[in-house]
Amino acid sequence: MATKKKAVKAKATTKVKIVKQAGTQAYEKALLKMRADIYRLVQGNKSPDLSATDVGDEADQATQSTERELMFELSDNERNTLDAVEAALRKIDTGAFGQCETCHKKIAALRLKAIPHARHCIDCQAKLDRPRR
Ligand SMILES: [Zn+2]
C-alpha cells in the first residue's frame, strides 16, 4: 500500500519574525548607500571640531546637537531625499516598499531602479509635479 503518511509538521508560525520584503535587497543596498552619501556630503562640508572631544559629560548632548546641526546643514533637496530614503528603508521592513503612497499601486520596477526612494508611481508624481494655477 502506498499510503505514506506525510508527517509534515507545521513549522512554528506563532513566532513573530520580521522578514524583509523579498526582492528588495538591491534597493536596500542602493538606499543605504544614498543615505551614507548624503551624510558624508554634509560632514565633508564641516571641519571636524576636535577640541571638544575631551568633554566627558557633554558627549551625549554633543552627539544630539550634531545630529540637529546636520539637519540644518542639509539643503531642502537633500533633506527631502534623506526623508524619502529613510521612508523607503522603513517600507522594506514593513513590506510596503514599491507601493505608491497616493494610489497604492505598484511602482514600476524601472522607476524604482532609477529612484529607489520614489514615493509615488509615475502617474501620481506627474500630477504632484504639475504646477497649480
Ligand atoms: Zn500612484
Q: pLDDT: is 74 or 81 the higher one? A: 81
Instruction: Give the pTM.
Output: 0.64
Q: pLDDT: is 131 or 127 the higher one? A: 127
Tell me which residues have their CB within 5 A of the ion that is ligand 1.
100, 102-103, 121, 124
Q: Return the half-sphere exposure (C-beta side, CA atoms, 13 A cut-off) of residue 58.
A: 8
Question: Ligand 1 center to residue 46 CA distance, Å?
Answer: 39
Question: Ligand 1 center to residue 107 CA distance, Å?
Answer: 7
Question: Ligand 1 center to residue 48 CA distance, Å?
Answer: 43
Question: Ligand 1 center to residue 45 CA distance, Å?
Answer: 36
Q: What topology is assigned to 25-44+62-129 in CATH?
A: Four Helix Bundle (Hemerythrin (Met), subunit A) (1.20.120)
Q: pLDDT: is 106 or 132 the higher one? A: 106
- pLDDT at 5 exceeding the cut of 70: no
The domain ranges of the chain are 25-44+62-129
* Interior/surface letters 11-42, b for 16+ CB within 10 angstroms, e for the rest: eeeeeeeeeebeebeebbebbeebbeebeeeb
Question: Ligand 1 center to residue 47 CA distance, Å?
Answer: 42
For residue 39, name the pLDDT band (cuts at 50, 70, 90): confident
